[in-house]
């Protein structure tokens, strides 16, 4: 079936735009950038329709990558039902966002650079998704991290973008370190990295009652997921990542890359199933992140940051779903979230584009008249993320919360309240932007069709995406658990609607009340608005001490005192320097002297060779 063609098209697009983009006209860059992803999408649809039932999985072996002792790692790609969902999400939503970016980036410099990075990202994401062993997946994993870095720092002339890119990269290194340790431990325990062989090997092992090798592997892999999917405590990079262009935030930091952790955990779910302790930790961290990010989201004033925290929060939901064993619900939410969160970001981008770069909610308002398409589509997305009945988010969030209820009831209650908070802050941003009176001073205008059409398509998916029954499609791999719970559904929906109503009351009907509430909450508000001072905490606990130690001990002490003074300037260094000064005369610049040395060397070699019996 030539699965390699799927990632090949974006790679080709990257090479063409990256190497020749500077000399190409914009139309050609657009055609290459968008066309490569479109080809990839069409080919994915073709492949999936050919392989239709996709049960069992279909795999292709290309070449042996590493052959070392017992370890045999091939460069293999494979497709099963889980991969199929991810492939469609990555190429489908990727295509829409590429089209949107044509409009959004129209006035930006470095146009070809943007599209070549974008295509490179899609390439690595597809490698990650198609990988049939952990190491190939790690290649894609690191590759998307690199592209994320390049794209966050796209406006590299502005200091904050460079800093945000560095932050994302460094924080991800911590996660990736855990991930690579997990891979090493997997090799040590199982002697293979292939998903199929791992599943077979694990099925013969007992479920670990207490912590053991499997728990260690799964937790280390989860550290990787924490980094990539922005979970507590490594979520701090994601809000700052909004320094990149908005299509980047939509594609990488909302719809696809950040879900890589969710995908990875689901891919090795057979390991997690045998490590209940690790699963509890996954669920707990997911839930905690969901609550934490939701509270921060309430207080943010930058429209993209609100949505960034909501991404962190929704990813927490997905991990909650995985942690309670509802893998298919987690993937379901991953897909619907990709629809409505991409839409939220693209809508926000449309607002920002229309206001010539204004991102502060306090300088918006009353935009519904001037941007009707953005207004309606963003409304659909907000309803979807709030879990309003009938919208896509309703189905997936309900699946997760029902599973949580069946597993641990208190997690369900916390999750429902978080759903209420989610609805509140998303609609807060929505009302602040589109209702009331206009508080800014730019001339607002609706975006061109190349931007609004992807919005409309995504809105359709946000509305109807819940009807795609992902849990049923995944049921061969992840059996459906029958815990449809009408009461739980009703409670979470009520929480969502209450959140919307509260936001409407505070920001549309009685706008003054919100301000007075803010002042009366006082120090609590300051704490949350400053993101619980987590960044400052990390800076004080980790970054500053490291800097101090590097400066005082490693630089002044080790480098200057020890290495410079006692080695470089000491007896050792001086001896070497004197010998060097002596030997320097060998390099006289005279060709004839060099030739004499060559002759002497050749003579010596012939001598040794012939008298050591080498000639016979």
Q: Which residues contact 231 (CB under 8 A, 6 or more apart)?
A: 225, 261, 285, 286, 289, 312, 315, 316, 319
Which is nearer to another protein, 211 or 606 (by Cβ)? Answer: 606
- CA 266 to mean position of chain CA atoms: 15
| CB closer to another protein, 543 vs 605 | 605
Least distance (Å) from another protein to the CB of residue 249? 49
Contact 396, 315 (CB under 8 A): no
Supply φ then ψ for residue 240, to 5 degrees. -70, -25
Residue range at the interface with another protein (CB under 8 A); choices 371-379, 447-455, 492-500, 607-615: 607-615
With a CB cutoff of 8 Å and minimum separation 6, the contacts of 394 are 384, 387, 388, 466, 493
> What is the smallest separation between the CB atom of 592 and another protein, expressed in angstroms?
4
CB 608 to another protein: min, Å: 11
Of 553 and 598, the one with the shorter C-beta distance to another protein is 598
Give how far Cα 290 sits from Cα of 286, 294, 317, Å. 6, 6, 6
Cβ proximity of 232 and 288 under 8 Å: yes
User: Strand, coil or helix: what is 233?
Assistant: coil
Q: How many residues bind another protein (CB under 8 A)?
A: 17
By the rule CB under 8 A, 526 interacts with another protein: no
**To which H or E segment does residue 78 belong?**
strand 71-79
Q: For residue 128, what are its two tokens?
A: 């990650």
Q: How far is the CB of 589 from another protein (least distance, A)?
A: 3
Min. distance of Cβ 475 from another protein in angstroms? 57
Binding-residue pattern over the window 51 to 80 for another protein, x denoting contact by CB under 8 A: ------------------------------
Q: Which is nearer to another protein, 107 or 592 (CB)?
A: 592
User: Least CB distance from residue 564 to another protein, whole Å?
Assistant: 24
- Asked if residue 516 binds another protein (CB under 8 A), the reply is no
Least distance to another protein from the beta carbon of 580, Å?
10
Structure tokens at 83: 């991969």
Taking the least distance from each CB to another protein, the nearer of 441 and 584 is: 584
For residues 464 and 451, give the distance between their C-alpha atoms in angstroms, rounded to a whole number.
21
Cβ count within 10 A of residue 594: 13
Please, which residue, 206 or 615, has the CB nearer to another protein? 615
In eight-state DSSP terms, residue 302 is B
The distance of closest approach from Cβ of residue 110 to another protein in the complex, given in angstroms and rounded to an integer, is: 34
**What is residue 366's DSSP assignment?**
-
Q: How far is the CB of 612 from another protein (least distance, A)?
A: 13
Closest by CA position to 119, among listed 235, 22, 243, 35? 35
- CB atoms under 10 Å from CB of 345, counted, come to 29
Nearer to another protein, 464 or 600 (CB): 600
Q: For another protein, which residue of 554, 603, 605, 608 counts as binding (CB under 8 A)?
A: 603
How far apart are the C-alpha atoms of 177 and 228, rounded to whole Å?
A: 11
Minimum CB–partner distance for residue 569 and another protein (Å)? 22
Contact with another protein (CB under 8 A): which of 494, 606, 608, 614?
606
Residue 615 in contact with another protein, rule: CB under 8 A = yes
Dihedral pair phi/psi, residue 588, rounded to 5°? -90, -10
Give the integer Cα–Cα distance in Å for 446 and 350: 8
Shortest Å distance, C-beta 594 to another protein: 9
Min. distance of Cβ 19 from another protein in angstroms?
A: 23
Backbone torsions φ then ψ of 257, nearest 5 degrees: -60, -45
Which of 62, 410, 610, 614 is in the footprint of another protein by CB under 8 A?
610
Nearer residue to another protein within complex by CB, 567 or 607: 607
Residue 479 φ/ψ region, left for φ over 0, alpha for ψ in the -120 to 50 degree band, beta for the rest: beta
CB closer to another protein out of 68 and 587: 587
75-77-82 Cα angle (round to 5): 145
Cβ closest to another protein, residue 553 vs residue 599: 599
Task: Determine the Cα–Cα distance for residues 510 and 220; give it in Å rounded to an integer.
Answer: 49
Whole-number minimum distance, CB 597 to another protein, in Å?
Answer: 8
Cβ proximity of 429 and 303 under 8 Å: yes
C-alpha–C-alpha distance, residues 457 and 460, integer Å: 5
User: Using omega within 30 degrees of 0 as the cis cutoff, is the peptide bond preceding 233 cis?
Assistant: yes
Nearer to another protein, 443 or 592 (CB): 592
| Nearer to another protein among residue 173 and residue 577 (C-beta) | 577
Segment holding 212, helix H or strand E: none
CA atoms within 13 A on the CB side of 203: 6
Stretch 12-51 residues interacting with another protein (CB under 8 A): none
Nearer to another protein, 537 or 600 (CB): 600
Minimum CB separation of residue 603 from another protein in Å reads 6
Residues numbered 541-600 forming contacts with another protein, rule: CB under 8 A: 584, 587-593, 595-596, 599-600
DSSP for 38-106, written as a single string: HHHHHHHHHHHHHTTT--S-EEEEEEEEEEETTEEEEEEEEE-HHHHHHHHHHHHHHHHHHHHHHHHTT
Q: Which residue, 443 or 584, is less far from another protein as judged by CB?
A: 584
Contact call for residues 387 and 397 (beta carbons, < 8 A): yes
Secondary structure of residue 570 in the 3-state scheme: coil
List of residues contacting another protein (CB under 8 A): 584, 587-593, 595-596, 599-600, 603, 606-607, 610, 615
């Amino acid at each position: 079936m030539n699965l390699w063609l799927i990632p090949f098209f974006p790679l080709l697009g990257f090479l063409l735009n990256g190497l020749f983009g500077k000399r190409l006209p914009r139309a050609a860059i657009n055609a290459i950038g968008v066309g490569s992803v479109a080809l990839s999408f069409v080919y994915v649809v073709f492949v999936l329709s050919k392989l239709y039932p996709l049960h069992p999985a279909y795999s292709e072996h290309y070449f042996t990558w590493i052959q070392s002792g017992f370890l045999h790692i091939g460069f293999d790609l494979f497709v099963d039902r889980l991969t199929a969902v991810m492939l469609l999400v990555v190429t489908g939503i990727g295509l829409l966002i590429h089209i949107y970016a044509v409009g959004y980036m129209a006035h930006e410099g470095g146009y070809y650079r943007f599209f070549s990075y974008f295509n490179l990202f899609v390439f690595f994401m597809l490698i990650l998704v198609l990988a049939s062993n952990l190491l190939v997946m790690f290649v894609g994993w690191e590759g998307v991290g690199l592209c994320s870095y390049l794209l966050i720092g796209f406006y590299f002339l502005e200091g904050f973008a460079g800093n945000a890119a560095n932050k994302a990269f460094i924080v991800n290194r911590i996660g990736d370190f855990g991930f690579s340790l997990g891979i090493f431990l997997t090799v040590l325990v199982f002697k293979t990295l292939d998903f199929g062989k791992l599943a077979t090997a694990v099925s013969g092992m007992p479920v670990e009652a207490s912590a053991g090798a499997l728990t260690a592997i799964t937790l280390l892999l989860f550290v990787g997921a924490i980094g990539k999917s922005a979970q507590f405590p490594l979520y701090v990079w994601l809000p700052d990542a909004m320094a990149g262009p908005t299509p980047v935030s939509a594609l990488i930091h909302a719809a696809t890359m950040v879900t890589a952790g969710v995908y990875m955990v689901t891919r090795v779910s057979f390991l997690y199933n045998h490590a209940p302790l690790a699963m509890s930790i996954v669920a707990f961290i997911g839930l905690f992140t969901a609550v934490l990010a939701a509270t921060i989201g309430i207080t943010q004033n930058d429209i993209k940051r609100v949505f960034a925290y909501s991404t962190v929060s929704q990813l927490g939901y997905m991990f909650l779903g995985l942690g309670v064993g509802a893998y298919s619900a987690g993937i379901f939410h991953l897909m619907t979230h990709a629809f409505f969160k991409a839409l939220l970001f693209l809508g926000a981008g449309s607002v920002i584009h229309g206001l010539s770069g204004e991102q502060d909610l306090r300088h918006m308002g009353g935009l519904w008249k001037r941007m009707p398409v953005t207004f309606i589509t963003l409304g659909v997305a907000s309803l979807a993320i709030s879990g309003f009945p009938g919208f896509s988010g309703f189905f997936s969030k309900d699946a997760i919360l029902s599973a949580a209820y069946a597993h641990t009831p208190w997690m369900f209650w916390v999750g429902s309240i978080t759903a209420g908070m989610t609805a509140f802050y998303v609609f807060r941003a929505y009302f602040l932007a589109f209702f009331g009176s206009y508080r800014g001073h730019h001339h607002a205008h609706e975006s061109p069709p190349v931007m609004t059409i992807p919005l409309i398509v995504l809105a359709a998916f946000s509305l109807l995406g819940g009807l795609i029954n992902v849990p049923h499609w995944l049921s061969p791999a992840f059996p459906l658990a029958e815990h449809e719970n009408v009461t739980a559904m009703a409670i979470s929906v009520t929480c969502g609607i209450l959140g919307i109503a509260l936001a409407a009351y505070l920001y549309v009907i009685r706008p003054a009340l919100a301000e007075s509430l803010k002042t009366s909450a006082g120090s609590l508000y300051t704490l949350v608005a400053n993101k619980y001072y987590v960044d400052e905490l990390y800076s004080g606990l980790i970054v500053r001490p490291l800097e101090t130690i590097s400066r005082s001990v490693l630089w002044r002490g080790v480098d200057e005192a020890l290495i410079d003074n006692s080695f470089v300037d000491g007896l050792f260094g001086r001896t070497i320097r004197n010998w060097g000064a002596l030997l320097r005369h060998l390099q006289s610049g005279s060709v004839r002297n060099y030739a004499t040395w060559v002759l002497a060397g050749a003579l010596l070699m012939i001598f040794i060779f012939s008298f050591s019996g080498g000639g016979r």
